[in-house]
Amino acid sequence: MSNEFNLTVDKRGLTNKSGRKKMFKEGKVPGIYYSHDSKESIPFSISQSELIKAQKAETQIYNITVGSKKRNVLFKSVQYHPVTDEIIHIDLYGIKMDQMVSVNVSINVNGTAKGVVEGGVLVQGLNELEIECLPMDIPQSFDIDISNLDIGDSFRAGDIDLDEKLTLKTAEDQIIISVTQATKEEEPVAEEEVDGEGTEDSEETTSSEESDSSEGSTDKDETKSEE
Q: Which domains does the chain have, with CATH numbers?
A: 4-95 (2.40.240.10), 104-180 (2.170.120.20)
CA distance 108 to 127: 8
pLDDT one digit per residue (tens) for the chain, 227 residues: 456 688 888 887 766 777 777 888 888 999 999 887 777 888 888 988 888 888 888 788 898 876 677 889 998 888 888 888 888 899 999 999 999 999 999 999 999 999 999 999 999 999 999 999 999 999 989 999 999 999 999 999 999 999 999 999 999 999 999 999 988 765 555 555 444 444 444 444 444 444 454 444 444 444 444 44
CA distance 48 to 26: 9
CA distance 143 to 114: 18
